[in-house]
Amino acid sequence: MRKNINSVKVFSPASVANVGPGFDILGFAINNIGDTITLTKRNDESYVMEAIGAELPLNPEQNVATVALKSFCMHVGHKGGFDIKIEKNFTPGSGLGSSASSAVGAVYAANELLESGFSREELITFALDGEALASGNRHGDNVVPCMLGGFVGVKNCDPYEGFQVSFPDDLNVLIVFPDVPIKTSEARAILPQTVTLKDGIKQAANMAGLIKGLMDGDYSLIKASLQDVFAQPHRKKMIPQYDRVEDIIMKNGAIGFNISGSGPAMFAFFNKNQGLTEVKRQIESVYNAEQIHVQFLESTINKNGVTVVQ
Ligand code: HSE
């Protein structure tokens, strides 16, 4: 049992939300990228932010981490301030749950530092206060996988109700991130507020098929179900060369492809650790021709969620 600690450092992973048909309700955490957040108690009541690796708002009222942190501290009655250092090794606005990583990391670190004893599930509601600042909406498909790890379905956010989806061990993820800015709030604003019955039925069938396919390791069912009729048809227009990238990826043996969260990052599933050098080369040449920088990340699904690293 740690007592009277003054500082906690956590790693809070990036995540892929929506995952095709699971708009706002399905997401998974990924390895290797995320926020490292160090939270240190101060002797006064101020919140002092430091951001490394990305330009983040340093005003505590405008930063997702501090908004989430304040919500938690108000709930537990903690009046002291903090130094909050966020080291970000991926770009905010990439579609990889940057705001969720910061909000979850800050709240989880505070729970550890203040020894408040909340469960991960109970902390979700505070992290969502930060997420809502970034996207204007309380959706948990980045926050929940970042907090709990794994591949999750979110039935309800406040209070959290949801479930873990099992997935095959050899499921690998390729992230393709063309460096073009897309704000989640803008990517939400372009979506129609109503869907047709036909599209609702299609989405529900794809969601059921994707979950069954993941749980059974049935790659043809995953491939047939990893489609989104709610957001992807509208949002893909915001992502340069989306159709060409999809074509390259699917011709190179992917099990599925779609937008990661609100984009511009895209993700693909592969069912073995196959060499992806040629796929990446082809995609790179598409973006080079447009003078758009593109980054790739190969990952497995992160099963741990946010963790203390010291
Ligand atoms: N489900 C969210 C969206 C994820 O697609 O807008 C991004 O926050």
CB atoms within 10 A of CB 103: 37
Domain ranges of the chain: 7-165+303-308, 171-299
Cβ–ligand 1 contact at 131 (below 6 Å)? no
Q: Contact, 222 vs 210, CB < 8 A?
A: yes
Q: What's the sign of the alpha-carbon dihedral 233, 235, 241, 245?
A: negative
Structure token digits, residue 51 = 């951001």
Structure token digits, residue 115 = 């020894």
Tell me the H-state helices in the chain: 64-76, 98-113, 120-135, 143-148, 184-189, 197-216, 219-225, 232-235, 242-251, 277-289
Cβ–ligand 1 contact at 188 (below 6 Å)? yes
Task: Give which of 148, 156, 178, 167 is closest to 293, Cα–Cα.
Answer: 178
Determine the distance separating the centroid of ligand 1 and the alpha carbon of 24, expressed in angstroms: 6
CB atoms within 10 A of CB 190: 12
What is the reported pLDDT for 1?
52
CATH topology of domain 171-299: Alpha-Beta Plaits (3.30.70)
Q: How many angstroms separate the Cα of 209 from the Cα of each of 206, 213, 260, 301?
A: 5, 6, 19, 20
Give the ligand 1 atom nearest the CA of 99: 8
Q: What is residue 16's three-state secondary structure? A: strand
Give, for all 310 residues of the chain, the pLDDT tens digit. 556 689 999 999 999 999 999 999 999 999 989 999 999 999 999 999 999 998 898 888 899 999 999 999 999 999 999 999 999 988 888 999 999 999 999 999 999 999 999 999 999 999 999 989 988 889 999 999 999 999 999 999 989 999 999 999 999 999 999 999 999 889 999 999 999 999 999 999 999 999 999 999 999 999 999 999 999 999 999 999 999 999 999 999 999 999 999 999 999 999 876 789 999 999 999 999 999 999 999 999 999 999 999 6
Substitution candidate for ligand 1 out of 16, 19, 23, 232 with most atoms within 8 A of CB: 23
Substitution candidate for ligand 1 out of 24, 131, 144 with most atoms within 8 A of CB: 24
Give the ligand 1 atom nearest the CA of 24: 1
Pick the catalytic residue: 38, 91, 125, 131?
131
Answer yes or no: 184 catalytic.
yes
What is the reported pLDDT for 2?
58
Answer yes or no: 161 catalytic.
no
- In this structure, the residue with its CA closest to atom 4 of ligand 1 is 261
Cβ–ligand 1 contact at 17 (below 6 Å)? yes
What is the reported pLDDT for 46?
95
Strands 47-52 and 7-17: unpaired
Cβ–ligand 1 contact at 260 (below 6 Å)? no
What architecture is domain 7-165+303-308? 2-Layer Sandwich (3.30)
